[in-house]
Structure 1
Amino acid sequence: MKKLVASGKTVEEAVRSGLNQLGVGEDRVIVTVLEQPSKGLFGLIGAKEAKVELQVRPDGVEEAIEFLREVTGAMQLKVDIERKDERDQVLIQMTGDDLGILIGRRGQTLDSLQYLTNIVANRHSDRHLRIVLDAEQFRERRRQTLEALSDRMAGRVVRTRKEVVLEPMSSQERKIIHARLQSHPQVRTYSQGDEPHRCIVIALK
């Protein structure tokens, strides 16, 4: 946890000085007053400034980004990391060359890294954080692929009158398929099995 000692003629001035040096807002720090200001003899001799210690509160998302920098650095990957705060989650987008190794087969490596990133973020946060990790817009491309798959498999179920069991997927990917077909007039979806082998079944209504 980052700490800084700052001084000023008043406690308020010392705090402002510390915040300027740290580049953060007052809501991001814990302030401890180390010394109150004193005027000294005749208001001049022995005068002491106020001294405060500012301790930066840990930011879970920043800690998660630092974790990602360490991981990608260890893999000798040059990665740009961009943070986007959304309504109920934080999207961390990674861009760079040769990020296929970070994505893995059908995003399995990316999902595992996302799981670890969420652990790191929530370890350093006093509120629950939900982080979605993406690399080279993989999540959007995968969403489009899954929606196209949903449409094809729904058509097969209608045509053959037989249910279709899809391969095991993460809960995030299963939600995409459920959402895509929830308003379909002829088929319904449900999940079966246990993690990590839980899969979606598409069946006639």
Structure 2
Amino acid sequence: MDKVVAKDTTVDKAIRKGLDLLGVDSHEADIVVISEGKKGIFGFGQKEAVVEITRKEIMDFDEPGDIQLAEIDETVEDIVEDLEEDYPEAAEKILADQPEVDRIISSDEEEDAEAGHFPEDYDEEAGRAEAIAAVSAYLASVAEAYGAPAVVTVEEKNNMLIFQMESEKAGLLIGKYGKIVNALQILAQALVQRYVRRRLSVIVNVGDYRERRAAVLESIADRTAERVIKTKQPVFLEPLPAFERKLIHARLSQNKRIKTHSEGKEPHRYLVVEIAE
């Protein structure tokens, strides 16, 4: 549910009710007051206040393989904060692996892909196989520590590795607003970079979350396009992971009446949608 219409005796009460229904804070939602209501006299003629509250969708189309230390560190900080109270073993597992992930990214930043840390007799196929095995084991171990054992399978598509996680407790692995699965994807992408010389994109999916999320993102893109065309004013979408920004950009690129570009730095880059000149 991304939008609700809430009613109560006052606007403030209606807003609080709507925010509670969506499970978001005020800064995470767009609030429109449809009616301020009417007190009436002795209960007669009273009308409730009505508000419409829409969850802000967090929205570049940068290459998903471009991961920086700041993004890794913030990702780890966020995910550990969510896990450590109820799932300390999972939090410890992720924290234990962070130095290695940071080392991998630092190595990539300092050495550059051409020089790299690969031997002259490097075998691309063997490297890819090692990457798949290492990331699969890592995801399975985190899921186990999280109390949501998962079966991990892998599909290879061109320059993309799709790690599919199936669990009876899929919701735990997805996390609120997809925070957990997105964090695991960032960490998995970083780990893959340790084993392969050529840039590979990584997707981590839990159940059918990515498919459902893609449908939501397409809806956001369509609504945003309508708003920009109607108002002729730019819309600044909230930060989203790079691969989700890319999905929105791909959808909007089909509309020649608008254009898009990204601003900001990871992990806070956001998409700007505006009318085409």
Contact 1:63 1:124 in 2 (8 A): no
Structure with bigger gyration radius: 1
User: Which of 1 and 2 has higher RCO (CA within 8 Å, sep 6+)?
Assistant: 2
| Mapping 1:1-205, distance limit 5 Å | 59-125=130-196, 127-205=198-276
Contact 2:159/2:199, CA 8 A, preserved across alignment: no
Q: Between Structure 1 and Structure 2, which shows a larger proportion of helix residues?
A: 2
Deviation for aligned residue 1:120: 2.7
Distance 1:165 1:177 in 2: 13
CA deviation vs aligned residue, 1:117-147 (integer Å, no higher than 9, x gap): 2233332446544321110121111111111
Amino acid at match of 1:74: A
Higher strand fraction (1 or 2): 1
Q: Which residue of 1 aligns with 2:17?
A: none
Alignment CA distance shift 1:91-1:156 (3 Å)? same
Tell me, yes or no, if the aligned pair for 1:157 and 1:203 is still in contact at 8 Å: yes
Whether the 8 Å CA contact 1:67–1:120 is kept in 2: the answer is no
Give yes or no for contact 1:146–1:176 (8 Å, CA) kept in 2. yes
Deviations along 1:89-120, whole A, 9 cap, x unmatched? Answer: 11111111222222223222212111222233
Unaligned runs of 5+ in 1: 1-26, 30-56
Shift of 1:162: 1.4
Distance 1:199-1:90 versus aligned 2 partners, 3 A rule: same
The number of residue pairs the alignment matches comes to 153
Structure 2 Cα separation of the partners of residues 89 and 62 of structure 1: 15
Greater Cα shift, 123-132 or 166-175: 123-132
Task: Name structure 2 gaps, 5 residues minimum.
Answer: 1-123
